[in-house]
Amino acid sequence: MQCPKCRGNMRTFDRNGVHIEQCDNCRGIFLDYGELETLSRMENQWNAAPPPPAPGPAWGGGHHGGHGYHHGHRKSWVNALFSS
Amino acid sequence: MPPDLVSQLVRLSGREGPPTVLKDTRVLVIRVGDVVVKAHPAGTDEAELKARLEVRLPGLLLEPLGTDRVGDRFVTIWPAGEPLTPDDLETPPWEEGGRLLARLHAQPLPAGLPPMGGPARVTRAVAQLEPGDLPRKAYQTLDLRQRGSGLTHGDWHLGQLIRLDGAWLLIDPDDLGYGDPAWDLARPAAWFASGLVSPDEWNLFLGSYLAAGGTAVSPGDPWRELDGPARALTVQLAATAMATARRDNTALDEAAEALISSCERILATPPPS
């Protein structure tokens, strides 16, 4: 198809399941009926779901690898929790 | 320690009976009857310590009974609280700690108070190590600048809680001052990050701090404020453990190993910008 603005050639792209036509000449974009709504919906979903906060620091260790905290072993160093 | 320092402290206590030595490190702390007597390190900045001792927060911070001196050691005298029981060690008073810190952080900053002593403690701890030691290398990556100027305890851990007449209180204002109050949560945060405190215990502590109105960290993303201070406390605790093991010629225990391995990850993980 031809660009309605500059009459250049339009090429079809697929972005996240949405078909868009972009003009090779002026880079203008043509959206079919409903495609703008689809993009808005995707944008809202992205904004509504922030990633959950990290449950610990990036340099942390011990809780995920299967090592670390063992209640039965803590007696040997529990005093460290109570002293400077 | 001069051999007669304990007996001098007993004399200053004004109490009779055999003393119990509670702590013998940079400070000497003894208990005689219903009082605790503490000899502060030689070279303590007395003006700063006196400003800290003058802070009065009834029901929140233990107040001294008096001050004195033995030679070059400044001495403070305190009411003795109820000692911790084995039950306290099994189920530590995380919630009481969280609530007291939330209340402390809500207090206005008293006039004339020096900066809190947390960062200086980190620096002192690594100064005991050799240049190639991991905690000392990790120390080079720390940012010890304070991102706040609220009332901060400066050296908080579970041993800084006592019960007096049935109520829990904070003790030890030696590092009390203005700074980033997130530092007061940083030692439990460091334990948690190294796997030494379980997620349940950490959540109990942090949850009661936030539920009591604690403002040092953001409820949605507490590690934004905690990351830097927890790195610093990890380095401090690792350095102290390493220096102690070296001095006593003993092997590193499980906790020390975990903290030193955290130092390795701190070195490998630049702080979030």
* Domain identity same for B41 and B160: no
Say which CATH number the domain at B39 has.
3.30.200.20
Q: What is the ipTM of this complex?
A: 0.81
- Residue B23: C-alpha distances to residues A54, A84, B6, B103, B145 (Å): 38, 10, 11, 28, 30
Is B39 inside a domain boundary? yes
* Domain identity same for B169 and B215: yes
Rounded Cα distance, B186 and B157, in Å: 9
Nearest C-alpha in B relative to A68: B195
Which of B21, B47, B79 is the last residue in one of the domains?
B79
Within 8 A of A84 by CB-CB distance, chain B residues are 25, 155, 157, 159
* Domain identity same for B90 and B216: yes
State residue A76's pLDDT score. Answer: 66
Which of B79, B107, B126 is the last residue in one of the domains?
B79
Give me the residue from A56, A77, A80 closest to B192, CB to CB: A56
> Number of folded domains in chain B?
2
- Residue B91: C-alpha distances to residues A74, A75, B128 (Å): 12, 12, 33
Tens digits of residue pLDDT in B153-187: 999 999 999 999 999 999 999 999 999 999 999 99
Q: B86 vs chain A: nearest CA distance in angstroms?
A: 10
State residue B153's pLDDT score. Answer: 98
Is B273 inside a domain boundary? no
Tens digits of residue pLDDT in B106-132: 999 999 999 999 999 999 999 999 999
* Domain identity same for B98 and B73: no
* Domain identity same for B113 and B68: no
* Helix pair B223-248, B118-127: axis angle to 10 deg: 30
- Whether residue B84 and residue A82 make contact (CB cut-off 8 A), yes or no, is yes
Say if A71 is an interface residue toward chain B (CB within 8 Å).
yes
Mean local confidence (pLDDT), A3-25: 85
* Domain identity same for B202 and B96: yes
Is B139 inside a domain boundary? yes
Which of B51, B79, B107 is the last residue in one of the domains?
B79
Predicted confidence (pLDDT) at residue A67 exceeds the cutoff of 70:
no
- Residue B159: C-alpha distances to residues A15, B11, B15, B36, B222 (Å): 59, 26, 24, 14, 23
* Domain identity same for B68 and B178: no
Residues with pLDDT less than 70, chain B:
1-3
- Whether residue B221 and residue A54 make contact (CB cut-off 8 A), yes or no, is yes
Is B179 inside a domain boundary? yes
* Domain identity same for B50 and B104: no
* Domain identity same for B129 and B211: yes
Say which CATH number the domain at B183 has.
3.90.1200.10
* Domain identity same for B117 and B61: no
Question: Which residues span the domain enclosing B58?
Answer: 5-79
DSSP chain B: --TTHHHHHHHHHT--S--EEEEESSSEEEEETTEEEEEPPTT--HHHHHHHHT---TTTBPPPSEEEEETTEEEEEEE--BPPPHHHHHS--HHHHHHHHHHHHTSPPPTTPPBPSHHHHHHHHHHTS-TTSHHHHHHTT-----S--EEE-SS--GGGEEEETTEEEE--GGG-EEE-GGGGGHHHHHHHHTTSS-HHHHHHHHHHHHHTT--SS-TT-THHHHHHHHHHHHHHHHHHHHHHHHHHT----HHHHHHHHHHHHHHHSPPP-
* Domain identity same for B140 and B236: yes
* Domain identity same for B74 and B95: no
- Residue B188: C-alpha distances to residues A14, B72, B233 (Å): 50, 34, 9
Which residue bears the tokens 């003058």?
A: B54
